[in-house]
Amino acid sequence: MSASTGDLLTRLGGHDPVVIVFYRDHDSQTDLLELCELLAPSGAPTLRSGAVEDAFRGEYKNTILLVTPADEVSAVRTLDGRREQLLDREAPAILFLLQGGSAESFYNTDAPALASIVRGLTYDPEPPPIETDLARRRAEFRQKHDRTPSEWVRAWRNDELPDTADNNLVAHEAWTLRTR
């Protein structure tokens, strides 16, 4: 799972047959479609499609397909069942799946053939928070700044720290990591 536009750029310009983009809700799906179109290589054909079958059509094998199926579970099942045909693709089919939805669950447990070609090629700019990651980041913050995130926030709010760009960005991180 990546949240890096660099990784998304590489995948949009690459030859992997399928890439998965996770979205949080309808609005974020629309925003992510626009982001993919923005980052697609200049001159590369792109097409929004609601039909996962387009991923197998020869005339679209060089087209970056942005696939937003109405039935996401069925789309995952179809791609998983026709893995060999996907290997003919020259440009990626970008499959949009609802974060935490039934299709993501189905993909993780029941679509080994699809998973074998996706190989972790997923993009999710807003993954749900994972408590172990937060704990690790809090420890790293304390080691780096010699204060806990909560202590940093308190000092920042009391104007005890210089108002520099760096400190503003550290404050953003501290707010996110603070414990109430």
Which residues make up the interface to other proteins (CB under 8 A)?
Answer: 3-10, 24, 27-28, 31-32, 34-35, 38-39, 125-126, 129, 133-134, 137, 156-157, 159-160, 162-166, 168-169, 171-173, 175-177
In terms of CB distance, is 42 or 109 closer to other proteins? 42
Min CB(134)–other proteins separation in Å: 7
Min CB(174)–other proteins separation in Å: 10
Show the DSSP H helices in 87-145 as ranges.
102-110, 112-118, 131-145
In terms of CB distance, is 147 or 178 closer to other proteins? 178
In terms of CB distance, is 59 or 160 closer to other proteins? 160
How far does CA 141 lie from the centroid of its chain?
25
Residue of 141, 128, 124, 127 lying closest to 175 (CA atoms): 141
Rounded Cα–Cα distance for residues 60 and 25 (Å): 27
Min CB(74)–other proteins separation in Å: 26
In terms of CB distance, is 34 or 88 closer to other proteins? 34
Min CB(33)–other proteins separation in Å: 10
Rounded Cα–Cα distance for residues 76 and 71 (Å): 9
Min CB(137)–other proteins separation in Å: 8
In terms of CB distance, is 59 or 131 closer to other proteins? 131
Contacts 24+ apart (CB under 8 A), 163-167: none
Classified as helix, coil or strand, 148 is coil
Rounded Cα–Cα distance for residues 153 and 176 (Å): 10
